[in-house]
Structure 1
Amino acid sequence: MPHSHRFYNRYRKQILDILALLGPILIAQLTVVGMSFVDTVMAGNVGFTDLAAVAVAASFVNPITLLMQGILLALTPLIAYQVGAKLTNRTANTVHQGVYLAIAMTILSWLALAYSPELFSYLEIEPELEAMARQYLVFYSYGLPAFALYHVLRCLNEAYSNLKAIMLIGVFALLLNIPLNYIFINGLMGAPKLGGAGCGIATALVYWFMFIALFVYVQRSSKFKSLNLLSHWNPPQITKLKKILGIGLPIGASIFFEVSLFSTIALLLAPLGADVVASHQIALNFTSMVFMLPLSIGISVTILVGNKLGEQDHKGAKHAAWTGIGMCASFAICSAILTVLFRHHIVDWYTDDSHVAVVAASLMLMAASYQLPDFLQVVAAGALRGYQDTKYVMMVTMLSFWPLGLGIGSILAFTDWVTSEPMGVYGFWVAMIIALTCCCLSLVVRLRKISNLTDPLAAHQQ
């Protein structure tokens, strides 16, 4: 008992610090994935072709936008370090360089989305589904500048642990997304009837609302007045841009490798029929919502580790990292149990098609089994980002998700090399479990090494 009491006191402050950040971050993250949930449900209620079109379009959009977001995430540990080290006189310049990156990545993303629909001809998907997915991509691209600039300002607020504004804007954005979807899906108030493609233009409009709202808040908030963000604009600085990219590119690539695995799976499943894609999308959308809890803990840990390192409190950084790991393990076990128990009720939220519901419910069982490694790997990655050790995370995710996840998944799904007959969609989900488990083990071992170093910030150079 005395030992457990000492253990609790040792980590009590870290638990409270994480919980203080977790609430607003989790709500903000849930509003983001909530918009995807709303798109999925509202498109699915029109028909499974509309739902499949949203899923196929998202398979192109998500890797691109999350690569952008991942690169910009480098701003959070950099600014958090400046806050902890009392070097906030450098923060405005860091934000300005982030804006330059956001603009450059928007242009590149436009080019990528402009040419990505050419891949449709290789997928052998239904013409109606293809036309709707193409239309979605065009509409969605209008919101990319706002998406990128919003995330620059979001990273600034997160680094300052100023999370209430992000949370409130996210809630209003989610509430705005619902009527906009309804208008453009059904052609109300003079708008064209676009079906599932209407979700694309609704999302673009919501992104512009989020950016403008956060920009106005930052300009008026007393917390950021001393930064003089607009009074003196810094030109592009190659050295600073290289530093941001040196941290951000591995983060973006890590997210890209993971998300592109799920997106590629959806594209590879397209020839099996819209019902199979719809079942996969339902299970994936739900697990993405649940994933927001460990992701939010990971973001909280990134902020705390960055602050502690700026204060030269290496022991505090270590305790924050491992407290996050312990919290996530507990949440993962509870989440997996609840997913198994209520999987049929969850699927009923998405569809009333009996065949789609049966397949989706069986995929929920597989989703429950990978929640523990999935939860732990994202928090370990968040802690390593706080230590600015991002290249190792990139290598691990690349090797885990592509050679293992996609390679094994393709073999199990489409061949009889391992099983008596191809496993179809289930083969990919088995492969995802294997990939996430390998990724989790590698990142946790790396975190143990880095957090025990005397000079952990030098670790990313090793």
Structure 2
Amino acid sequence: MTQKLPSRGRRSVTELRALIWLALPIIAAQMSHTLLGFVDTAMAGRVSAVDLAAVALGNSFWVPTLLFLTGVLMIITSKVAASNGAGRPEETGPLVRQAVWLGLCLGVLCAAALFSVESLLYWAGVQEELIPKSVDYIRAVALGFPAIGMYQALRGLSDGLSRTKPTMVIGFLGLALNVPANYVLVYGKLGFPAMGGVGCGVATTLVMWFMLGCMLIYLKRSKIYDACRLFERFEWPRWAVQRHLLGLGLPIGISLFSETSMFALIALLIGSLGAVVVASHQVALNLSSIVFMVPFSLGLAITVRVGHSLGMDGARAGLFAAKVGITVALLFAFLAASSFYLLDDLLPRLYTNDPEVLALSTALLFYAALYQFSDSVQVACAGALRGYQDTRIPMLLTLVAYWLIGLPSGYILGLTDLYGPARGPAGFWQGLIIGLSAAALFLSLRLAVIGGRRKRRFPQDRSHLVE
């Protein structure tokens, strides 16, 4: 029976403490992953503007693909959190064994897709001097995708059990490997040839396989996970389970991909405007991506808190956890926007000394500051809905927001004179703000609907999906 809940004030403090305690290691882990991109961008930028632009275009392909892969496997975190909240951790091992197979297969498919991007770059009209290095960089990163797919499945177990510190530690170990590997491969040290931006891709793949090995060793040696029975036996893929996981996880992956691929397509469209514009866009986007890891991590923590609360205390506790999480995300958005606005002259200098790139990057950071609010709200609401295991309708809502509202708005404002002179990259960033604001509105309304509905009648079926 659900225990009587404490007063609202005490509940808020308790939930806030649990959320922050859970989110801080996730934030640190995601920041370490994003700093991999920062290291790539910074080191490539010191080689040449062409190498920087090539890495920027490459990121526009493999980062959305990685987020798609990660999104599909996010459902594991929600499932594990619900089982753990209900007091049945032994159910999680069979689930994660199947998730590892899913991560491996999806990783191979994603790698194959990334190996086929060259013709798309030519079709998009990207400057020919950028294409060879971009393709080689993308293909180098693609070799790590099978590893990162399996890693994300295993991470779902640890995060879902509210044990997020291992992910943080492994993330920083990966970063510690990435920095010297980049230095050696990009600039040609210790007898290796100078690979420029392509060396960043090779280093990233090495880090992906290294992180998988670290996670396997930790889960195997730590007694904390014995109750999960992950290594109890070997299992081949069970197709009914794979279909079930895909049915819930694929909409999450599509949602994340629809957002990040909007950024990728904008980068392609901007690619026709020249290396300076592409490099400036990448600087502003990379800074935004670093900051985005905080609300994104909060969204992951909100998923765990909502799923755990639903499994332990029912629907009312789950909705309360969602509200606390969204409030925290909004507070962070205010801090992030203020930082971008006040430090717009300083931050781009971390990447380049080119005066043209610096000037345009500074202008674009103004728009990056504006969209922090809508971006934080939409990612927090999406995390709460994942905790409810509500994935299909949010996917449709984000597709509409990004592809039918945000991207067309950016194209019209950036490359046409329909609403005055074409605004170039600024117009595309204005379109991003419009699309993210639409997503925030749609997902907030969806959370109000699904939370209110389950507050009245929450389904108590917690049967494990691998049965």
TM norm structure 1: 0.95
How many Å separate the matches in 2 of 1:181 and 1:50?
A: 14
* Residue 302 (str. 1) matches residue 303 (str. 2): yes
Give the count of matched residue pairs.
454
How many Å separate the matches in 2 of 1:455 and 1:303?
A: 21
* Residue 47 (str. 1) matches residue 48 (str. 2): yes
8 Å contact kept, 2:105–2:146: no
Question: How does 1:219-258 map onto structure 2 within 5 Å?
Answer: 219-258=220-259
SS at match of 1:74: helix
* Inter-CA distance 457–260: structure 2 relative to 1 (3 Å threshold): farther
* Residue 335 (str. 1) matches residue 336 (str. 2): yes
Identity %, equivalent residues: 38
* AA at the equivalent of 1:231: E
Work out which of the residue numbers 454, 457, 464 in structure 2 matches 1:455.
457
What's the CA shift for 1:407?
1.1
* Corresponding position of 1:422: 422
How many Å separate the matches in 1 of 2:221 and 2:162?
A: 17
Deviations 1:316-352 (A, max 9, x none): 2111100011111111112211210111111111111
Higher helix share: 1
Deviates more, 1:234-243 or 1:381-390: 234-243
SS at match of 1:99: helix
SS at match of 1:176: helix
What's the CA shift for 1:431?
0.6
What's the CA shift for 1:277?
0.6
- Runs of 4+ in structure 1 over 4 Å off: 456-459
How many Å separate the matches in 2 of 1:254 and 1:368?
A: 23
What's the CA shift for 1:448?
1.5
* AA at the equivalent of 1:104: C
Please, which runs of 5 or more residues in structure 2 have no aligned partner?
1-6, 462-467
Question: How does 1:12-411 map onto structure 2 within 5 Å?
Answer: 12-411=13-412
What's the CA shift for 1:59?
1.3
Question: How does 1:440-451 map onto structure 2 within 5 Å?
Answer: 440-451=440-451
* AA at the equivalent of 1:432: L
8 Å contact kept, 2:248–2:389: yes
Deviations 1:215-257 (A, max 9, x none): 1000001011233323312332233222211210010000000
Please, which runs of 5 or more residues in structure 1 have no aligned partner?
1-5
Deviations 1:394-418 (A, max 9, x none): 1111011111111111111111111
8 Å contact kept, 2:100–2:154: no
How many Å separate the matches in 2 of 1:309 and 1:261?
A: 33
8 Å contact kept, 1:387–1:456: no
SS at match of 1:42: helix
8 Å contact kept, 1:388–1:457: no
8 Å contact kept, 2:101–2:150: no
What's the CA shift for 1:456?
4.5
SS at match of 2:130: helix
SS at match of 1:376: helix
How many Å separate the matches in 2 of 1:447 and 1:61?
A: 30
* AA at the equivalent of 1:117: E
Deviates more, 1:171-180 or 1:215-224: 171-180
* Corresponding position of 2:434: 434
* Inter-CA distance 457–369: structure 2 relative to 1 (3 Å threshold): farther
How many Å separate the matches in 1 of 2:27 and 2:336?
A: 15
* Inter-CA distance 45–389: structure 2 relative to 1 (3 Å threshold): same
How many Å separate the matches in 2 of 1:137 and 1:414?
A: 27
TM norm structure 2: 0.94
CA RMSD of aligned residues (A): 1.6
How many Å separate the matches in 1 of 2:217 and 2:459?
A: 35
What's the CA shift for 1:89?
2.4
* Inter-CA distance 44–458: structure 2 relative to 1 (3 Å threshold): farther
* AA at the equivalent of 1:38: V
